[in-house]
Structure 1
Amino acid sequence: MSVILAVDTATPAITAGLVRRSPDGSVQTLSERITMGARGHAEALTPNIGAACADADFPVSDLGAIVVGCGPGPFTGLRVGMATASAMGLALDIPVYPVCTLDAIGYGTVGSVLVVTDARRREVYWAGYRDGTRISGPAVNAPADVPWQSYAQVAGSPDHTTLFDLPVLDRRYPSPSRLVLAADWGQPPGALTPLYLRRPDAQEPRR
């Protein structure tokens, strides 16, 4: 039985939580701290991690693994969570498992579900799921170019689910427990590769 730190900064929900994972794969959320804000990820994440550990009365040094949402998400916010998770994994000498943030939202859903999050620039990040398994995406498109007609429900960002003529499933952001459940525990952790899906807004000036 292992206690895992789950973090995600790919959406406005700056998330940190401690989750106990049993050998049979079941999970129990011990604590979670979620701060809403499209910006300020760097200022909020570390305090949220500290508060989640304090709430669970669990020392950081005893963590067994870290799970981190790898997007898709905006460049600045996403790299905060991934850099923090990577640094903690190295310092504690524990594995860090990357998880697609959309997978954590779609995990455990029933039927065909479209998951969308804010990509800015009047676009959405999206992926499609059937019974919790991703069948398309992740991708970034204008809402009009998302093949939403293939799905029976939509979940994700509350400001964007209403753009699609589908019943809305109350799954807005990735929770710590679903981040842990969506990780591939049957394999060694993969590379921490952020899913930006497009180039960052900030570019070096041309000479």
Structure 2
Amino acid sequence: MLLLAVDTATPAVTVALHDGESVLAESNQVDARRHGELLLPSVDKVLAGAGLKLDAVTGIVVGVGPGPYTGLRVGLVTASTFASVLGVPVYGLCTLDGLAYAAGIEGPFVVATDARRKEVYWARYEDPRTRVGEPAVDRPAEIAEQVAGLPAVGQGALLYPEVFPDARGPEHQSAAALVSLAAERLAAGAAFENAEGTPPAPLYLRRPDAQVPKNYKVVTPQ
């Protein structure tokens, strides 16, 4: 087994390679505006660090969000393209699940990432491997009662200490954690966000920031 993982659902452009037992190489860069520019060089760096080529990969793991429209699509399109070209399966995992796994908190806690617009993408967890319910997007003040008294990880938690007073690291997503979780699930025969043989669907949770303007002036000839 050789799994290549990518995630661009958060400001982190993160890539990792896993052989079924451990992480062989990883790359993590935080730049919310350069996902498309940084991802492929990061893949090259990780493969070179492990002394391997892309055609050795037997499966692709990708974070499906939730995340902003543009950044999230970079990782998903790249993962689906690699899987198609190589003829290997692609496994979609919730980005928040990767952060939860990396946190390693035993007991109830929350993962929250920055959703912009003064909102967070968030979910509750019973332990590092067990999410409670589906991810959501809300203003922090609107979920204060639901998360009260719980530890929280992720950039979203660190941005709003009044709602998440027990905010902890990791701040950003790690493909190394995501691919380690995927390797565990594959070994256990557990399900992923997408059915085998189908491309992963993105978790946007809201409309994209870019909108067609209303009442725009028509300039084409009648």
Mapped pair 1:156 → 2:154: yes
Partner SS state of residue 201, structure 2: coil
- Range with greater deviation from structure 2 (164-173 or 54-63): 164-173
Distance 1:82 1:165, change over 3 A: closer
**Structure 1: stretches of 5+ with no match in the other structure:** 22-26
* 1:202 maps to 2:210: yes
Displacement of 1:49 after TM fit? 0.5
Q: Where in structure 2 are the equivalents of 1:68-83 lying within 5 Å? A: 68-83=62-77
TM-score normalized with structure 2 length: 0.84
The alpha-carbon deviation at position 163 of structure 1 amounts to 4.1
Q: Relative to structure 2, which stretch is displaced further, 74-83 or 178-187? A: 178-187
Check the 8 A contact 2:22/2:180 in 1, yes or no: no
- In the other structure, the counterpart of 2:137 is 140
- Matched position secondary structure for 1:162: coil
Greater CA drift, 137-146 or 159-168 = 159-168
Gaps of 5+ in 2: 216-222
Deviation at 1:170, TM superposition (A): 1.9
Whichever structure has more helix as a proportion of its residues is 2
TM-score, reference length from structure 1: 0.89
Q: CA deviation at 1:159?
A: 4.0
Displacement of 1:204 in angstroms is: 3.0
Q: Deviations over 1:89-129 (max 9, x none)?
A: 00000111000000111124311111000100000000000
Partner of 2:219: none
Q: Distance in 1 between matches of 2:41 and 2:141?
A: 38
Q: C-alpha distance in 2, partners of 1:175/1:80?
A: 16
After TM superposition, the structure 1 stretch with the greater mean CA deviation from structure 2, 106-115 or 73-82, is 106-115
Higher strand proportion: 1
Shift of 1:19: 1.2
Q: State the alpha-carbon separation in 2 of the partners of residues 82 and 169 from structure 1.
A: 28
Letter paired with 2:139: A
Determine if contact 1:28/1:177 at 8 Å carries over to the other structure. no
The corresponding residue for 1:43 is: 37
Shifted more, 178-187 versus 76-85: the winner is: 178-187
Q: Alignment length, in residue pairs?
A: 200
Letter in 1 for 2:153: A
